[in-house]
Structure 1
Amino acid sequence: MVTRDVVFPPGRQALYEKNRYSPAIRSNGFLFVSGQVGSREDGSPEPELGAQVRRAFDNLNAILKAAGCSFDDVVDVTVFVVNPEANFETIWRIVPEYWGAAPHPTLTGIGVTWLYGFQFEIKVIAKLPESGAA
């Protein structure tokens, strides 16, 4: 059996253990990050869409930092959006605050009908810096 090299951000390990998944796994020089939503410390959603998106990115960045990398190391992004026709423009106005300069990572956007009470989720794959590759 393969041992998983799990990365936990500070202060949220209990939430991940309760929900029975790993926030991120290091493997073969890459970091595979589970979908991050705009959840508060207790797991509840931020009520407003813009705050949810910012919190999702903050949660993502905490995981990236715990693994020794940043959004600049992200090579692939998947976003899930509830009601994209209504929500996309609001979300995409916030993204540049976190995205950084070109060249940008690859992107797949998926419209969904349900995200467990959330409206936005982001999952990424990042290339670990050479010193952090496990």
Structure 2
Amino acid sequence: MRDVIVPKALRDAVAASGFSPAVRAGDFLFLTGATGGRADGTMPDTAAEQTDIALAKVLEILRTAGGTVGSVVELTSYHTDIDADFSAVDTRLRAILHEPLPAWTAVEVARLRRPGARVEFRIVAHLPQPSETAP
């Protein structure tokens, strides 16, 4: 079974793009890559601010699905300049996700889809569904 998770705050973006913010498959939630663009469409200049905004979106999706920051089990971060930005991203991730961090892979890429994006996050969360018991 596959359920799409769409927080109220992202409904317009979903309608415009057709992408699902997250898809639940069994006890796992797979989130679409999150970049740090502001609600007005502008992109902050720093990887730290982009990280804060992107992870705020992630946390909103997790809350909508019934999860928390502790539900995140895997994180892949994509960086357009890993040497320049990794330290700032690492600092913000530790402040927002808290230690112990989820399994994390960091990858440098030539560019990201959103103009001005310096970092993008792909997240997998574990959200066990309540077991149904027979009456």
Q: What is the TM-score normalised by the length of structure 1? A: 0.87
Instruction: Kindly report which structure 2 residues correspond to 1:39-54, keeping only aligned pairs within 5 A, or say none.
Output: 39-54=37-52
Residue equivalent to 2:124: 125
Unaligned runs of 5+ in 1: none
Opposite residue 122 of structure 1, the aligned amino acid is F
Instruction: Kindly report which structure 2 residues correspond to 1:54-73, keeping only aligned pairs within 5 A, or say none.
Output: 54-73=52-71
Distance, in Å, in 2 between the alignment partners of 1:81 and 1:36 is 12
Opposite residue 125 of structure 1, the aligned amino acid is V
Distance, in Å, in 1 between the alignment partners of 2:20 and 2:46 is 26
Kindly tell me the number of residue pairs found equivalent between the two proteins: 129
Query: Which has more radius of gyration?
Result: 2
Residue equivalent to 2:17: 19
Contact 2:26–2:129 (CA<8 Å) still a contact in 1? Answer: no
Unaligned runs of 5+ in 2: none
Q: Deviations over 1:63-113 (max 9, x none)?
A: 0111000120111111101111111112112111112232x3111111011
Distance, in Å, in 2 between the alignment partners of 1:120 and 1:16 is 21
The alpha carbon displacement at 1:46 in A equals: 2.4
For the aligned residue pairs, the C-alpha RMSD in angstroms reads 1.7
Contact 1:10–1:62 (CA<8 Å) still a contact in 2? Answer: no
Residue equivalent to 2:105: 108
Distance, in Å, in 1 between the alignment partners of 2:86 and 2:5 is 30
Find 1:87's aligned residue among 80, 85, 88.
85
Of all paired residues, the percent bearing the same amino acid is 27
Distance, in Å, in 1 between the alignment partners of 2:120 and 2:56 is 12
Residue equivalent to 2:34: 36
Q: What is the TM-score normalised by the length of structure 2? A: 0.86
Opposite residue 128 of structure 2, the aligned amino acid is P
Opposite residue 97 of structure 1, the aligned amino acid is A
Distance, in Å, in 2 between the alignment partners of 1:42 and 1:129 is 34
